[in-house]
Chains A and B, each alone.
Chain A
Amino acid sequence: MANVKLKNVVKNYGSLEVVHGINLDVDHNEFVVFVGPSGCGKSTTLRMIAGLEKISGGEISIGDRVVNELPPRARNISMVFQNYALYPHMTVRENLGFTLRIAKKPQSEIDQAVAEASAILSLDPYLDRRPGELSGGQRQRVAMGRAIVRHPDIFLFDEPLSNLDAKLRAQMRVEIKKLHQKVQTTIIYVTHDQVEAMTLADRIVIMRDGYIEQQGTPLEVFEKPVNTFVATFIGSPPMNLLHGRADNSGKNITLDDGVNVAMPSRLAGKYADKDIIFGFRADNIMPVGHTLPQGDESVEIDMTVTLTEPLGAETLLFGEIGGTQVQAKMLNPRIVKPGEKLTFQIDLEKCHVFDAQSEMVLD
Chain B
Amino acid sequence: MEAAYKGILTIFLGVGGCLLYYYLSNQFLDKVLYPAKGEKAGQNINRANMIRPWLFILPAMLALGLYLAYPVVATLWYSLTDRNQGGAFIGLANYQQMMNEPKFWEAMRNNMLWLIIVPAASTAFGLLAAQLTDRIKWGSVAKSLIFMPMAISFVGAAVIFKLIYDTRPVDQAQIGVLNAVWLQFEGGIGSWLILRLLPALLMLCGAAISIYAAYGVFSAIREKGGAVLRSIAVIFLAFIGYSFLSLAAGAFTAVHEYGVPQNWLTIPGWNSFLLMVVLIWIQTGFAMVILSAALRGIPEETVEASIVDGANPFQVFFKIKIPQISGTIVVVWTTITLVVLKVFDVVFAMTNGQWETQVLANYMFDKLFRANDWGVGSASAMVIMLLVSPILIWNVYNARKEMK
Contact = CB atoms under 8 A, between A and B. Distances in A.
Nearest to A84: B301
B324 A88 contact: yes
B390 interface: no
Interface stretch (B43-51, B140-148, B302-310, B395-403): B302-310
A81 interface: yes
B310 A85 contact: no
A77 B306 CA distance: 12
Interface in B273-332: 299, 301-302, 304-312, 315, 319-320, 323-324, 326
Contacts of B310: 72-73, 99, 102-103, 150
Contact of A72 (B307, B323, B324, B326): B307
Interface string A216-233: 000000000000000000
Is chain A's interface secondary structure helix, strand, loop, or mixed overall?
loop
Contacts of A72: 307-308, 310
Contact of B302 (A73, A87, A102): A87
Contacts of B315: 102
B302 A86 contact: yes
A52 B309 contact: no
B137 to A, nearest CB: 14
A44 B252 CA distance: 58
Contacts of B307: 52, 71-73
A102 B312 CA distance: 9
A192 interface: no
B301 A83 contact: yes
Contact of B306 (A71, A88, A98): A98
Contacts of B323: 87, 89-90
A72 B299 CA distance: 19
B129 to A, nearest CB: 23
A87 B307 CA distance: 12
A146 interface: yes
B304 A146 contact: no
Nearest to B298: A88
Nearest to B302: A85
B308 A73 contact: yes
Interface string B151-190: 0000000000000000000000000000000000000000
Given A88-B324, A102-B315, A52 B308 contact: yes
Contacts of A51: 308
Contacts of B326: 89
Contacts of A83: 299, 301
Nearest to A83: B301
A98 B304 contact: no
A79 interface: yes
B309 A102 contact: yes
A52 B304 contact: yes
Nearest to B303: A85
A360 B307 CA distance: 42
A306 to B, nearest CB: 44
Q: Which 7 residue pairs are nearest across A and B when measured between Cβ atoms? A: A73-B310, A85-B301, A99-B309, A85-B305, A89-B323, A79-B308, A81-B301
Interface of B: 299, 301-302, 304-312, 315, 319-320, 323-324, 326
Given A77-B308, A85-B299, A150-B310, 4 more contacts: A52-B307, A83-B301, A86-B305, A90-B323
